[in-house]
Homo-oligomer: A and B are copies of this chain.
Amino acid sequence: MSARKEPVSRRERPAKPALSRRWIVDTAVQIMRTEGLEKVTMRRLAQELDTGPASLYVYVANTAALHAAVLDALLGEVDLSGRGGGDGWRDQLSAVLTSYTLVLFEHPQLARSALVARPSGENYLRLVERILDLLAHSGAPRTQVAWGVDKLLLDATATAAEQSTHEHDPTSGEDWDATVRALRSVDEATHPAIAAHMPDLIDGAVRDRMRWSFDVLVNGITQTPVPDRAD
């Protein structure tokens, strides 16, 4: 006779907030931070939000869109100021891209999804705007600048995506080990070039390679004219 359940159950937990895209994405980010992106599934997320998976489809088109939203949220952490290096556009650009890469390094799986589902959120637009502006200060022709932004972001994203040897990452670094082993154990007779370049092929601190990649791209972008348009 005592069990009227309505008010009791309502007070049992800290008041389930109304569903909203905002709340859904925030919760997804939280799950990613604590358990990794592979746990950011519709079902797991629904469970966390105390509802069924079907309910999420009112706010999110599918899993890919969900991951894209999580990525954009994370891009809010990129430091766009360019502080850290010198005052020139080049140092500032380097600092912004380094910040972008480091943010993705924390979540290589997200970098991979960035390669699949191109982001289009406000934080992504802010990032593109900033890089474009800095690169334009190089004085390079407009098209080179426009195409160059793409190259810089693609390189940084792909570098992060590759860097899967990470704690929260289940698909960790044994593939890279396999590649290293394969390159090391190569027969000098059949693969002379590999043997000849061997230590360097595998060596090099990530930081050094990142810095060099940046210089390679900026030098190339500013100095290489776009080809004559094919038909």
Contact = CB atoms under 8 A, between A and B. Distances in A.
Nearest to A216: B220
Number of copies: 2
A218 B183 CA distance: 23
Give the interface size bracket for A toward B. Answer: 35 or more
Contacts of A216: 148, 151, 217, 220-221, 224
Given A120-B178, A230-B207, A147 B212 contact: yes
B183 A125 contact: yes
Interface stretch (A16-24, A46-54, A186-194): A186-194
Interface string A201-225: 1001101110111011111110110
A81 interface: no
Interface stretch (A6-14, A27-35, A84-92, A157-165): A157-165
A226 B212 contact: yes
Interface of A: 64, 68, 112, 115-121, 124-126, 128-130, 132-133, 136, 142-143, 145-151, 154-155, 157-159, 161-162, 164, 171, 175-176, 178-179, 181-183, 186, 190-194, 196-197, 200-201, 204-205, 207-209, 211-213, 215-221, 223-224, 226-227, 229-230
A200 B162 CA distance: 28
B205 A132 contact: no
Contacts of A224: 212, 215-216, 219
A193 B136 contact: yes
Nearest to A199: B146
